[in-house]
Amino acid sequence: MQGPPARPPLVLASASPRRRELLCQIGIVPDEIVDSGVDETARPRELPAQLAHRLAAEKAEAVAVLRPQAYVLGADSVVAVGRRALAKAESAEDARRFLALLSGRRHRVLGGITVIAPDRRRASRVVVTSVAFKRLSAEEIEGYLASGEWRGKGGGYAIQGRAAVFVKAVNGSYSNVVGLPLYETHALLAGLGYRPPWPGP
């Protein structure tokens, strides 16, 4: 007697350790992680939501070509102030400039997610979370820079780390600010037929 058919693998099209950790938090363990190699540079006049959507889709598409029998999850996070997208901080000067811009105001984190199923069906979402920062002193900014936590982070901060003390309010998905909106990601995977190896909707 044959058992149930094997579940297609899930491939995470992102090298971000935070995204893998977030998926594991809800019992979804990627079978493989493949860096898509997609250039994350924004196009001229591209709005933050458009950028998040495009990068998530391009990451998923690039890896789906390599892993056609798998579910492929592409994701990208964009920190935005108004119509301006803030890149990942590559230097202390980047992070200092970003933190000064975010100080005492609200900004948005836009999480783009795209899932491509083995039968080539796809689903995408852009999840928006509003984050309010307190007003930061020069000493607070310099202290945070000294921690090194800002390296490679969109907007120059990590909400799950020391920057949590800067955050007055979060309106929307907290996990989206960390790196992946879990409710929406689970819903997209389930809608395309992916079933994690644990009971659930």
- Number of domains forming the structure of the chain: 1
Each residue's pLDDT, cut to its tens digit, for the chain (201 residues) gives 454 457 899 999 988 889 999 999 999 999 999 999 999 999 999 999 999 999 999 999 999 999 999 999 999 999 999 999 998 999 999 999 999 999 999 999 999 999 999 999 999 999 999 999 999 999 999 999 999 999 999 999 999 999 999 999 999 999 999 999 999 999 999 999 998 766 544
Query: What's the rounded Cα separation, in Å, for the pair 144 and 103?
Result: 13
Any domain includes 197: no
Measured between alpha carbons, how far is 137 from 127 in angstroms, rounded to an integer? 30
Residue 3 lies inside a defined structural domain of this protein: no
Structural domain includes residue 198: no
Q: Look up the CATH number of the domain holding residue 157.
A: 3.90.950.10
Range of the domain at 161: 10-191
In a domain? residue 162: yes
Residues 6+ apart with CB under 8 A from 100: 136, 141
Q: Is residue 201 part of a domain?
A: no
Q: Could you confirm whether 76 is annotated as catalytic?
A: yes
Active-site residue, from 39, 76, 94, 119? 76
Question: Is 5 inside a domain boundary?
Answer: no
Is position 196 within any domain? Answer: no
pTM above 0.85, yes or no: yes
